[in-house]
Structure 1
Amino acid sequence: MSRFLLIKTVLGSVLRLLLRPQVENAERIPGSGPVILAGNHLTFIDSMILPVVTRRQVFFIGKDEYVTGKGLKGRLMAWFFTGVGMIPVDRDGGRGGVAALMTGRRVLDGGNVFGIYPEGTRSPDGRLYRGRTGIARLALMTGAPVVPFAMIGTDRVQPGGSGLPRVGGGRRIRVRFGEPLDFSRYEGMDRDRYVLRAVTDEVMSEVRELSGQEYVDMYATKARAA
């Protein structure tokens, strides 16, 4: 058994026992070929739940600090995160965005599933914020369909994005997947900023419909700073 299947089996069993996540329309994820999963981001455990509720392995970008820790804890974190499909990238540097984009392209060019949170960071208050156009560039450069998804209730299970999840008390988690979005009509226009914004806004509109969140037309990073 591969490390991914081992982690998925064990973690999936624990999550299903403690959190009882309800998954809706996971069959909308194509069974083969490159796919982009794009959704909202409420709390840290979103990236633990997504890989265990999909049949295919989901690769995603993560902070390199998750795999550079020292001691036993650091080694365990590195083993876990790389095992579930996280690809560490230094996103704080001036070229962090380019590195993340190129990493996503390599994953998709290999015919795999790439997960992304277009907001770029966790929501500071549970609302859905403006998406960054990297999702659009990936879709147009690779031709991969975009499957929108919504995490619902994870912020009540893990408020503030840290600490151990709270179980019981009527807290339930749902993961909803939307219909695949095809942007082939914009082929060759991955440098047109108006097209990139239109594609990104269409994806975020679908995420909003799935999640039921209030939408805020500003970047989450600016909301955090404010």
Structure 2
Amino acid sequence: MLYTVLHSVVPPLARAVWRPTVEGLHHVPDSGPVIVASNHLSFVDSVVIPCIVPRKVVFLAKSDYFTGSGLRGSAQRAWFEGLGMLPVDRDDTKAALASLDTALEVLGRGEAFGIYPEGTRSRDGRIYRGRTGVAHLALTAGCPVVPVGLTGTPDIQPIGSNVPRLAKVSVRFGEPIRVAGEYDGVPTGRARRDLTDRIMAAIGGLTGQEPAGVYNERPVDA
């Protein structure tokens, strides 16, 4: 109910304010399980994508956002829940692994799941090597992956800023990468690595970012 109410208000308002440039939205299927895999530049990426895609896209968010107290904590929790986000403790290895099961449950319900294969946001604008969790989900669920390229989102809320700003944002959706039958007989590890690299290449093609060639490690204070 909360999601329905917020999604009827927030996306139209956000689009009216920021007027993002959107390309290829038709590549996102109207129904059925799908993974929406994007590059990651800003905290607001997880708000921008759900505001653009007509259907619900479930993202995982830091559990800290759901545990605040008082009026502010309640409002923040309602906001994230209303956007369809689910809490995950990124500092707990077991919880992080369990988040993959949560994602599979979302896909199993025929919903869309949003993920950032880089793991954490890029602070230098380059695109980093993808982690294979996205391929694990796609191959296990047998669902397509729609690559997404975001540009301009760091300008909406720069690191250290608490107030959103007007900025020129572009959201490009690429053709779905389908996995059904693509990796039959291929060793699991090789299949996950190859598919992940294909997904990251597709995302990079949408953004034009310089490849970093390495994994992006999350800063201790992130």
| CA distance 1:44–1:164, change in 2 (3 Å) | same
Q: Structure 1, residues 24-45: CA drift from partner, whole Å, max 9, x if none?
A: 1111111111000001111111
Partner of 2:63: 64
- SS, match of residue 159 in structure 1: coil
- For the 8 Å contact 1:60–1:114, the answer to whether it is kept is yes
CA distance in 2, matches of 1:22, 1:214: 21
Partner of 2:177: 181
Deviation at 1:188, TM superposition (A): 7.1
Moved over 4 A (4+): none
CA distance in 2, matches of 1:25, 1:219: 28
- For the 8 Å contact 1:44–1:162, the answer to whether it is kept is no
Name the amino acid aligned to 1:52. Answer: C
Deviation at 1:119, TM superposition (A): 0.6
Partner of 1:84: 83
Partner of 2:118: 119
Normalised by the length of structure 1, the TM-score is 0.91
Output the aligned Cα RMSD.
Answer: 1.6
CA distance in 1, matches of 2:99, 2:160: 22
Q: Structure 1, residues 133-179: CA drift from partner, whole Å, max 9, x if none?
A: 00000000000100000111111222227422221xxx311110000
Partner of 1:199: 195
Name the amino acid aligned to 2:183. Answer: Y
Name the amino acid aligned to 1:154. Answer: T
Residue 214 (structure 1) aligned with residue 177 (structure 2): no
Normalised by the length of structure 2, the TM-score is 0.93
CA distance in 2, matches of 1:54, 1:221: 29
Residue 44 (structure 1) aligned with residue 46 (structure 2): no
Deviation at 1:18, TM superposition (A): 2.1
- For the 8 Å contact 2:7–2:82, the answer to whether it is kept is no
CA distance in 2, matches of 1:74, 1:25: 36
- For the 8 Å contact 2:57–2:112, the answer to whether it is kept is yes
CA distance in 1, matches of 2:116, 2:160: 15
- SS, match of residue 81 in structure 1: helix
CA distance in 2, matches of 1:38, 1:162: 26
Q: Structure 1, residues 5-33: CA drift from partner, whole Å, max 9, x if none?
A: 32123222331232111211111111111
| CA distance 1:138–1:187, change in 2 (3 Å) | farther
Residue 165 (structure 1) aligned with residue 164 (structure 2): yes
CA distance in 2, matches of 1:210, 1:195: 23
Partner of 1:132: 131
